[in-house]
Amino acid sequence: MTGIFLELKWKQFSRAPQFGAKLAVKVLIGFFIIYFSLAAIFFSGISFFLLEKQFPDQTPLSIVNDHFLYYFVFGFIVRYFFQTLPSTEIQQLLITPMPKNKIILNTIIRSTFSFFNSSPIFYFLPFAIVFILKGEGNVFGVLSWWLSLQMITWTSNNLIFLVNKNSSALKAIIVTAICLYGLQKFNFYNFFTLFGSALDNIYSNPLWLIPVIFALATTYLLLFKFLIKECYLDKSLSKGKEKILGEKLTFLNRFGTLGALIKNDIRLIIRNVRPRQVVLMSFLFLFYGIIFFTPDIYKEMGTLLIFASIFITGGFMMTFGQYIPSWDSEYYSLLMVQNLSYRKYLESKLILMIIATLIACVLATPYLYYGLKIYSMIIAGAFFNMGLGGYITLISGVLNKSPLKLNVKAKAFENTQAFSITQFLFVLPKMGLPVLIYWLGQLLFTERIGILLLGLSGVLGIILNGFLISQIEGVYKKHKHKTLEAYNTNN
Amino acid sequence: MIKIQDLTKTYTGKTVLNIPKLKIEKGSCFGLVGNNGAGKTTLFSLLLDLVEPTSGEILNQEINVSNDESWKAKTSAFIDSIFIIGYLTPEEYFEFIAELRGVENVTLKDWLEQFSSFFKDEVLNQKKYIRDLSKGNQKKVGIIASFIGLPELVILDEPFSNLDPSSQILLKKLIQDFSSDNKTTFLISSHDLSHITEVCNRIVLLEKGEIIKDIETNEATLKELETYFTL
């Protein structure tokens, strides 16, 4: 049975348009996954020794155990945003002679082998092996410890599906988490060490595995029962009635066509799963600076600081912006026959990106903590993003030509439907150009002038906006029919 | 209104449309029939510059649709789901189209009143996104949106499919009234021969991309078409 599923998946992939390009991207991503897996394996092996050296009075195992709960919670949040049950596939199979039990069982089994559940293999298994090879721990204990981590991961895999379709379960989990955090905070009860010592116990006495097995079995059973019950088109498989968000926005009415287009984009973002996910991600870019601005070693590496500054205000542009005009792919034909010029359309997108950049500037004010120089770099970067970055983004977007399904969650590592080599190439000017401008400025003059030049390059872009938009308009017009063809055949 | 000259469309060596000459008069209601793959949607897509012609040209009121975009101000269309913005409510969708066509919001609200029997109580004030409406109601939204701003040319691809019988009958009347009130030219494709012979005063039959029949509608037309399509 799984064979048929795999065959369907393969056909879906191999018969898609632009198969060659997609294959190349998949291969590339495959390499990335292998690279990261190897890195994880290497890192986990090394970390055993590091922990041993840093904390000689504790065993590495118990340190990992004490922090496992953090990892678990973080993983749970990531899963909540990215992991989905393939319910459309269930839908298609409902009326085939395949029994329901089998369909559900298959879905659950396949989810067990998801990428999200691989961390025990890539991270904790090498750790365990190093432990065993060093001959310090007892083999049976280490293995049952590892097994418990794998089972806890699977348990969270099952929980996420229960939670995803059931908002009261989510509320229960959030409330429990807050209560536990509170208890921890006010030193009533240290839940983290409790959890850690429970894992320690499993190592010293494998009999403690039984509750873990029990928990895993329970969630499997619950999930199975839940899915069987919900396996009707009008239950979990349907979307249910949606609440209308962003109805008002009337203040945009006075801006005419531009206002109407921006209003649509705001609604697009708040009412569709995929854009919402992407825009939430873009907020993470705001924290990029902390990584680069905090360590002293980077303090004198101006180019690196500029690089980080570009990211801080460019989050929206790089996440949401790179998929313009793919966001409109579902109804691009409508826009193309409307009484709407490309110019207006492009202007509205630019304004949206500029507004987002300005908001990021305001949100980035806490970076003043790192000093005026850093903040002026952020502002100069923002000017570049607004003045030039936006145009580069728009061009890379139209060359992309992959349609997007708006109301479908993206899966991690499968987020390749709207991803192409051309976008890779456009990262160069988007990221490299600002760094180059700064680098030349500080090389020929001073660091201050480098920052100033970067800001001025953005101002220049703003002054030349009429000319630049015309150029991009030309590119969009040239690609109109190809874009339409790609959007309409794939959707 | 429309002048087509030596129009062909070829996909990887296969010709899907070949129309040496076709003229459509202003104010007429032009029907397009043909089995699947006859080239109906391709012709409409070419008229709307959604697809590039392999050769030949299309003039929409003397404007070549491939070179100049000014025809868009007076032309509107509805071609199935690719013309729907699913995350808007029907009201928001109408407002958006009205804004692009320069129709005031207040005028729009009054104007929409006349379609209340067509919408029944299933489209307006439902607090639902268009993506959550039934196929038939989505179609109603799209068709009425194409009427906004009194365009001179309206292109409708399969307007009768997915509609329930009473809506189909209402739609026929809507098209006829709209056409006679505003001198609007209609281009309609359909698989429903009786509806299209009733609404249109001229019917063109396409097969494998070529015009087989070009008929001024009369009492015998329906019979003639039925005979043709009976294998």
pLDDT of residue A403: 83
pLDDT of residue B113: 92
pLDDT of residue A377: 94
pLDDT of residue A416: 45
pLDDT of residue A414: 44
Question: Which of B11, B46, B47, B129 is the best substitution to test chain A (most A C-beta atoms within 10 A)?
Answer: B129
pLDDT at A239 over 80: no
B52 close to A (CB below 8 A): yes
Of B49, B83, B87, the CB nearest to A271: B87
Report pLDDT digits (tens) over A342-386.
999 999 999 999 999 999 999 999 999 988 999 999 999 999 999
DSSP A52: H
Looking only at the bridges linking them, the beta strands covering B2-11 and B185-189 are unpaired
B13 close to A (CB below 8 A): no
Question: Among residues 151-170 of chain B, which lie with CB inside 8 Å of chain A?
Answer: none
Per-residue confidence at A419, pLDDT binned at 50, 70, 90?
Answer: low
Distance CA(B28)–CA(B1), nearest Å, equals 9
Q: Using DSSP, state whether B78 is helix, strand or coil.
A: strand
Question: Which of chain A's residues have a Cβ under 8 Å away from the Cβ of B73?
Answer: 339
The residue that leads in pLDDT, A254 or B31, is B31
DSSP B216: E
**List of residues 6+ apart from A104 with CB closer than 8 A:** A90, A224, A227, A228, A231
**List of residues 6+ apart from B97 with CB closer than 8 A:** A338, B145, B148, B149
Of A339, A407, A484, the CB nearest to B73: A339
Bridge partners, B55 (sequence order): B8
Question: What is the nearest CA distance from A104 to chain B, expressed in angstroms?
Answer: 26
Of A256, A259, A333, the CB nearest to B82: A333
Report pLDDT digits (tens) over A136-171.
778 888 888 888 989 999 998 888 888 776 667 777
Of B50, B76, B83, the CB nearest to A331: B83
Residue of A nearest to B101 (CA): A339
Please state the rounded mean pLDDT for residues A105-110: 82
- Spans of chain B below 50 pLDDT: none
pLDDT at A219 over 80: yes
pLDDT, mean over chain A: 83
Question: What is the nearest CA distance from A339 to chain B, expressed in angstroms?
Answer: 5
Residue with tokens 């025990």: A120
pLDDT of residue A24: 73
pLDDT of residue A423: 66
Question: Which of chain A's residues have a Cβ under 8 Å away from the Cβ of B84?
Answer: 330-331, 334
Furthest-apart CA atoms within chain B: distance in Å: 52
Do B105 and A339 count as a contact with CB atoms less than 8 A apart? no
Question: What is the nearest CA distance from B203 to chain A, expressed in angstroms?
Answer: 24
Question: Which of chain B's residues have a Cβ under 8 Å away from the Cβ of A338?
Answer: 72, 76, 97, 100-101
Question: What is the nearest CA distance from A77 to chain B, expressed in angstroms?
Answer: 26
Q: Treating both helix axes as pointing N-terminal to C-terminal, what angle do A60-82 and A19-54 enclose, rounded to 10 degrees?
A: 150
Residue of A nearest to B42 (CA): A485
Question: Which of A327, A334, A406 is the best substitution to test chain B (most B C-beta atoms within 10 A)?
Answer: A334
Sheet with B29-33, strands from edge to edge, namely B75-79, B153-157, B185-189, B29-33, B202-207, B210-216
Per-residue confidence at A122, pLDDT binned at 50, 70, 90?
Answer: confident
pLDDT of residue B115: 93
Say what the alpha-carbon torsion angle A156, A160, A161, A164 is, to the nearest 10 degrees. Answer: 170
**Using an 8 Å Cβ cutoff, are B85 and A264 in contact?**
yes
Report pLDDT digits (tens) over B150-171.
999 999 999 999 999 999 999 9
Question: What is the nearest CA distance from B76 to chain A, expressed in angstroms?
Answer: 7
pLDDT of residue A391: 93
pLDDT at A6 over 70: yes
pLDDT, mean over chain B: 92
Please state the rounded mean pLDDT for residues A443-468: 93
pLDDT at A237 over 80: no
Per-residue confidence at A420, pLDDT binned at 50, 70, 90?
Answer: low
pLDDT of residue A117: 83
**Using an 8 Å Cβ cutoff, are B188 and B176 in contact?**
no
pLDDT of residue B116: 92
Report pLDDT digits (tens) over A263-322.
999 999 999 888 888 888 888 889 888 888 888 888 888 888 999 999 999 999 988 998
Report pLDDT digits (tens) over A45-81.
788 888 878 887 777 888 888 888 888 888 887 787 7
pLDDT of residue A413: 42
Question: What is the nearest CA distance from B84 to chain A, expressed in angstroms?
Answer: 6
**List of residues 6+ apart from A205 with CB closer than 8 A:** none
What b/e string do you get for A441-460 counting C-beta neighbours within 10 Å, with b at 16 or more? Answer: bbeeeebeebbbbbbbbbee
